[in-house]
């Protein structure tokens, strides 16, 4: 089998400054496939022209893009690539602003006994109305969670079309733990204004929620809000219904809440139930 004008993985590694291990990883992810794999030896060969794609991957990794985001970018039509880069820049800027705000918050907590970092956020209660939604469930770890939510939301909004109820927030439901090594599953729900167009509906009820500070809308700092919900529910003997969720509302300012549905109290005991949960109404 001829390998004319092709480079071995070692030669291609020297040309691109990518280790053979990295090249094999990119191959497994479908980012950079060898031009030829010898069926007998398993040796991999690349064309010199593939070096440009390899260097692009390296540059995108340097600015913090995940492998999944890079794959989506490189596989997108030319006319969509600029939009994807712009969206990444916006998200990266927001993440940087959150990180800076978090550092400011930590610095204040270290320097002031009046603002301890460990204080849990305030938990409140509210009655929520029934609503209908289209939905999709996926598995992902914390590192790729934001891009999964963004992509899934866009697909669901597109599917909902004119039935998308933009007045209601986006809901992300956590059916399992999500962390650096745990992968959910996670469900994204986009509201619609027509039950006939919905994948599911949720009845009204009582909900406990926390307003998440801007600098904590990221893993793992957002976990403080989930901890606050659990602690308040335990103190109040409140029985959870279903998994916890994040609620996102577009607008100025951007708003994120962490919430948990609970058993609705009878009308005559609703006030006492909220008090037991130490809610601010």
Reported confidence tier of residue 176, pLDDT bands at 50, 70, 90: very high
Nearest by Cα to 208 from 130, 125, 280: 125
Residue 278 burial class via C-beta count within 10 angstroms: exposed 0-12, middle 13-18, buried 19 and up:
middle
* DSSP E strands, the chain: 7-8, 36-37, 44-46, 124-128, 131-138, 170-174, 186-192, 200-202, 205-211, 245-249, 255-262
Residue 70 burial class via C-beta count within 10 angstroms: exposed 0-12, middle 13-18, buried 19 and up:
buried
Cβ-defined contacts of 194-198 (< 8 Å, 24+):
194/132, 194/163, 195/132, 197/132, 197/134, 197/160, 197/163, 198/132, 198/133, 198/134
Token pair for residue 264? Answer: 């609705």
Residue 214 has pLDDT above 90, yes or no: no
- Please confirm whether the linkage preceding 52 is cis (ω < 30° from 0): no
Residue 27 backbone zone (phi > 0: left; psi -120 to 50: alpha; other: beta):
alpha
Residue 269 has pLDDT above 50, yes or no: no
Nearest by Cα to 194 from 117, 262, 131: 131
Hey, what domains does the chain have and what are their CATH numbers? 7-62 (1.10.1660.10), 63-119 (no CATH), 124-276 (3.20.80.10)
Q: How many CB atoms lie within 10 A of CB 170?
A: 20
- Please confirm whether the linkage preceding 31 is cis (ω < 30° from 0): no
Reported confidence tier of residue 12, pLDDT bands at 50, 70, 90: very high
**69: which residues sit within 8 A by CB, 6+ positions away?**
60, 84, 88, 144, 147
Reported confidence tier of residue 181, pLDDT bands at 50, 70, 90: confident
User: Taking residues 10-30, what's their average pLDDT?
Assistant: 89
Both ends of the chain: CA-CA distance in Å? 75
- Please confirm whether the linkage preceding 185 is cis (ω < 30° from 0): yes
**Structure pTM?**
0.59
pLDDT tens for residues 129-144? 999 999 999 998 888 8
pLDDT tens for residues 254-264? 789 999 998 85
Question: How far apart (Å, rounded) are the C-alpha atoms in residues 108 and 37?
Answer: 57
CA dihedral 225, 209, 141, 216 (to 10 degrees): -40
Nearest by Cα to 178 from 258, 236, 253, 250: 258
Query: Which range scores top for mean pLDDT: 39-48, 104-113, 252-261?
Result: 39-48
């Amino acid at each position: 089998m001829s390998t004319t004008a092709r480079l071995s993985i070692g030669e291609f590694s020297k040309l691109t400054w990518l280790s053979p291990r990295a090249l094999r990883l990119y191959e497994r992810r479908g980012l950079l496939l060898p031009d030829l794999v010898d069926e007998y030896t398993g040796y991999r060969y690349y064309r010199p022209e593939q070096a440009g794609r390899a260097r692009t991957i390296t540059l995108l990794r340097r600015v913090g893009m995940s492998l999944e985001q890079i794959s989506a970018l490189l596989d997108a039509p030319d006319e969509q690539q600029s939009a994807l880069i712009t969206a990444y820049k916006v998200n990266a800027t927001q993440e940087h602003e959150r990180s800076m705000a978090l550092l400011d918050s930590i610095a204040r907590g270290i320097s002031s006994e009046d603002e301890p970092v460990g204080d849990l956020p305030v938990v409140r209660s509210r009655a929520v109305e029934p609503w209908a939604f289209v939905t999709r469930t996926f598995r992902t770890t914390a590192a790729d969670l934001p891009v999964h939510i963004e992509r899934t939301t866009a697909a669901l909004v597109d599917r909902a079309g004119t039935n998308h109820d933009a007045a209601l927030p986006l809901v992300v439901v956590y059916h399992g733990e999500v962390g650096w090594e745990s992968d959910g599953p996670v469900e994204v729900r986009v509201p619609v204004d027509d039950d006939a167009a919905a994948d599911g509906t949720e009845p009204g009820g009582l909900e406990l929620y926390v307003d998440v500070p801007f600098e904590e809308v990221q893993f793992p700092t957002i976990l403080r809000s989930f901890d606050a919900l659990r602690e308040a529910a335990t103190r109040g003997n409140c029985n959870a219904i279903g998994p916890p969720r994040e609620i996102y509302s577009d607008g100025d300012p951007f708003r994120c809440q962490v919430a948990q549905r609970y058993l609705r109290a009878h009308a005559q005991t609703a006030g006492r139930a909220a008090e037991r949960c130490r809610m601010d109404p």
